[in-house]
Amino acid sequence: MRVYAKLVGMPRKARVPTYVEPIVQEAESGVAVDLPDGSTVRDLEEALARRTPEVDLLVDKILVNGADATPDTPLKDGDAVVLFGPTAYRE
């Protein structure tokens, strides 16, 4: 199945090398991720962590199709997931 993920307010582990910056920007603007059927938000987080290791996936809030979700929320084909990090809510 394919889900669509966007990272918002995730801190970077360190200065990101120039050649990696496009990958990080892609994840921050939205990316399609292929997962096995029966996957959860946690599985998505693990796939994104492997894809963008330069970003700390410190997730404070999760939305799936605009509704609050948890890491154990099951995903289905076509779901839109937004993962909010700790810097998304700074005032």
Residue 82 vs residue 51, higher pLDDT: 82
Alpha-helix runs per DSSP H in 1-89 = 21-29, 41-51
C-beta atoms surrounding 37 within 10 Å:
9
24 band by pLDDT with thresholds 50, 70 and 90: low
Could you tell me which residues come within 8 angstroms of residue 53 by beta carbon, excluding any fewer than 6 positions away?
13
What φ, ψ does residue 56 adopt, rounded to 5°? -80, 115
pLDDT band for position 59 (50/70/90)? Answer: confident
Confidence of residue 25 (pLDDT cuts 50, 70, 90): low
Domains and CATH numbers, the chain: 2-89 (3.10.20.30)
- What tokens appear for 61 in the block? 């809030």
Phi, psi of 40 (to 5 degrees): -115, 175
pLDDT band at 63 (very low <50, low <70, confident <90, very high): very high
